[in-house]
A = this chain, B = another copy of it.
Amino acid sequence: MQPDLPEHLLINHFRDRAPLTHCMTNDVVQTFTANVLLAFGASPAMVIEAEEAQQFAAIADALLINVGTLTVPRAQAMRLAVESARAAGKPWTLDPVAVGALAFRTQFCQQLLALKPAAIRGNASEIMALAGISAGGRGVDTTDTASSALPAAQALARQMHAIVAVTGEVDYITDGQRTKEVTGGDPLMTRVVGTGCALSAVVAASCALPGDRLDNVAAACGLMKRAGSEAAQASQGPGSFATAFLDAIWHLEGAA
């Protein structure tokens, strides 16, 4: 037991501070995302109308932008929310779902980058597309391994002054100078919709918590992989996995 590892400290911060996390995310994963944040101890809120999103982004501790089911009005509301979060000094995180594969969201995400996210979390295809290196994957699936996107992630991190997490069988988390590698997890995590999107929400919340931001984002990735490993051992398929995953997050051990 090393109770002072970043992962243990992050768990304590989640439970002590219950970061209010404004999630503007896709329609498919909203419930699971909220339940993952609740299991961590965070306080999720999904507010989507432009006027309200603008108002709420300044109140919340952190903002997540996930473009999985982007629409024109949602994009407008997201931009206002990001501007409001920035003005209030609150960190925002980008999950560029399927960027590269679809023109509208690719253009939107490229524009949003000018508003300097604190963190970006995507798979290899998405991170490479965002960095302008590849035409991206086929929908939400990546056709590349995370390690192949590491140079793109590092370049993007340096350019944006952001933490970039490129996740897959192995996760790489980088600020452009330092890079952390996170292993673990289980293939069942890819057979339940929303584990990646929920990780982005945890990353977003972790950016509002005390500690080094690179450590926090890597700890968020590590905790999700740990919960995934434990859930896989306790389950018989993707249905019982999703249930066990939330239970495993709930029981993640904090610092002594």
Question: Which residues 42-65 in A have Cβ within 8 Å of B in the complex?
Answer: 43-49, 51-52, 55-56, 59-60
Task: Judge if A105 is at the interface, Cβ distance under 8 Å.
Answer: yes
Copies of this chain, how many? 3
- Whether B242 and A247, one on each chain, are in contact in the complex, defined by CB atoms closer than 8 angstroms, is no
Task: Judge if A237 is at the interface, Cβ distance under 8 Å.
Answer: yes
Task: Judge if A192 is at the interface, Cβ distance under 8 Å.
Answer: yes
Among A55, A73, A105, A240, residue most surrounded by chain B Cβ atoms (within 10 Å)? A240
- Whether A193 and B31, one on each chain, are in contact in the complex, defined by CB atoms closer than 8 angstroms, is yes
For the complex, count residues of A whose C-beta is within 8 A of B. 62
- Whether A236 and B247, one on each chain, are in contact in the complex, defined by CB atoms closer than 8 angstroms, is yes
Task: Judge if A161 is at the interface, Cβ distance under 8 Å.
Answer: no
Task: Judge if A168 is at the interface, Cβ distance under 8 Å.
Answer: no
Task: Judge if A145 is at the interface, Cβ distance under 8 Å.
Answer: no
Distance in angstroms between the alpha carbons of A19 and B249 in the assembled complex: 32
- Whether B238 and A139, one on each chain, are in contact in the complex, defined by CB atoms closer than 8 angstroms, is no
